[in-house]
Amino acid sequence: MSPNTEWLKETLEVNKFGEIMVDGHGSTSLPGVFAAGDCTNSAFKQIIIAMGSGATAALGAFDHLIRN
């Protein structure tokens, strides 16, 4: 119920719950780093949501790589 993101707090933007902040592409505040699932600021913590966000982050990473 609580994300294990303490080690990331100096590197990525996290909210007051320790959830990694991601945009609609799964991008974090650090360019080229993507996150998905319960450790992010997703509205709902359910398996199907985590799976979808994994797909989103993978596509976001692919899009980032082909553009850079």
Ligand X SMILES: Cc1cc2nc3c(=O)[nH]c(=O)nc-3n(C[C@H](O)[C@H](O)[C@H](O)COP(=O)(O)OP(=O)(O)OC[C@H]3O[C@@H](n4cnc5c(N)ncnc54)[C@H](O)[C@@H]3O)c2cc1C
The residues of the shown chain that bind ligand X, judged by CB under 6 A, are 4, 37-38, 45-48, 50
Per residue in 51-67, is it b (16+ CB within 10 Å) or e — as a string?
A: eebeebbeebbeebeee
Quote the least distance from Cβ 10 to ligand X, whole Å. Answer: 15
Residue type, 66: I
Give me the count of residues in the chain: 68
Nearest to ligand X of 40, 66 (CB atom): 40
Q: Minimum distance from CB of 3 to ligand X (Å)?
A: 8
Nearer to ligand X, 29 or 46 (CB): 46
